[in-house]
Amino acid sequence: MTTFCNDNMNSIIDQWNDAAKTYSEKQEESAFALSNKKIVEKRFPKLNGEKVLDLGCGYGCYTDYLRSIGGDVVGVDGAEAMIDIAKERYPDCSFLVADITRPLPFESDSFDIVFCNQVLMDIEEVKNVFEECKRVLKPKGTLYYSIVHPAFYNGEWKDGGKLITSYITPEIKANDFWGETKHFHRSLSFYLNAASDVGMMLVHAEEPRVYEEEGKNGDIPLFFFAEYII
- pLDDT number for residue 6: 39
3-state DSSP call for residue 86?
helix
CATH number of 9-229: 3.40.50.150
Task: Give me the torsion for CA of 125, 128, 132, 133, rounded to 10°.
Answer: 60
pLDDT tens-digit map of 117-142 = 999 999 999 999 999 999 999 999 99
State residue 4's pLDDT score: 39
Cβ count within 10 A of residue 193: 14
Handedness of CA 187, 208, 155, 171 (dihedral sign): negative
Q: What is the pLDDT of residue 210?
A: 81
- Position 56 scores a pLDDT of 98
Contact assessment for residue 173 and residue 179, using Cβ atoms and an 8 Å cutoff: no
Task: From 78, 70, 36, select the one nearest 51 (Cα to Cα).
Answer: 70
Low-confidence residues of the chain, pLDDT below 50?
1-7
Q: Contact 215/203 with Cβ under 8 angstroms? A: no
No. of H helices and E strands in the chain? Answer: 7, 11
- From the list 188, 168, 172, 191, the residue with the least C-alpha distance to 180 is 172
Residue ranges with strand state E in the chain: 51-55, 72-77, 94-97, 111-117, 137-148, 156-158, 161-163, 171-175, 181-185, 201-206, 223-229
Q: DSSP 3-state assignment of 162?
A: strand
- The H-or-E segment that residue 175 falls in is strand 171-175
Phi, psi of 188 (to 5 degrees): -60, -40
Q: In the chain, what are the domain boundaries?
A: 9-229
Task: Give the three-class secondary structure for 223.
Answer: strand
Would you state the pLDDT for residue 7?
Answer: 45
- Indicate the residue type of 11: S
Cut 0.75: pTM above it: yes
pLDDT at 225: 98
